[in-house]
Amino acid sequence: MKSISLKIDNTFLEDINKTIKQNRYSTRTEFIREAIRDKIKQLEKEKAIRKLAFLKGSLNPKMSDDEAGKIAIKEIAKRFDLSLD
């Protein structure tokens, strides 16, 4: 595992510390790692949604928005290894 250095404004650090206590994180590192993972997932989801929106135009014109939405949801769930049950 690699170490990195991070400079944070005191006010922001106070907010982080407060959040850590309220949500029972054991360390700042744990909190920051999770925040970074969440941000990466969010960006990947946004990219997938943009791609699906672009591809929607190439779908069968007889397909309803509801059907296209179901396909999009299945593709996103598949991409992020989510269960739709």
Q: Rounded mean pLDDT of 70-85?
A: 82
Q: Is the pLDDT reported for residue 85 higher than 80?
A: no
Q: How far apart are CA 34 and CA 64, in angstroms?
A: 38
Q: Write the pLDDT tens digit of every residue in 14-66.
A: 999 999 999 999 999 999 999 999 999 999 888 887 777 777 666 566 667 77
Q: How many residues are listed for the chain in this entry? A: 85
Q: What is the pTM of this model?
A: 0.61
Alpha-carbon distance values, 78 to 3, 29, 62, 65, 75 (Å): 33, 30, 24, 20, 5
Per domain, the residue ranges of the chain are: 10-79
Q: What is the pLDDT, as a whole number, of residue 14?
A: 96
